[in-house]
Amino acid sequence: MEPMYKQQAEPGKQCKDCQSFTVNPSNPAAGTCFGKDVVAEGGCMFFKKKEDAEQK
């Protein structure tokens, strides 16, 4: 099943807040999720919030 990705998600449910997101070290506004290029402010239906310890 293909995730229903959107370029702009609501605050608190964005890719940058998801445990599956890997930030691009040279561009913190972008990254990858399961091998797909995404933007940090995007989102999809598989969002799972990072644990507080992982965000620090």
Kindly indicate the confidence band of residue 56, based on its pLDDT and cuts at 50, 70 and 90.
very low
1-14 mean pLDDT: 87
Kindly indicate the confidence band of residue 51, based on its pLDDT and cuts at 50, 70 and 90.
confident
| Dist. CA 49–CA 17, nearest whole Å | 6
Q: For position 38, what pLDDT does the model report?
A: 97
pTM over 0.85: no
| Dist. CA 40–CA 3, nearest whole Å | 16
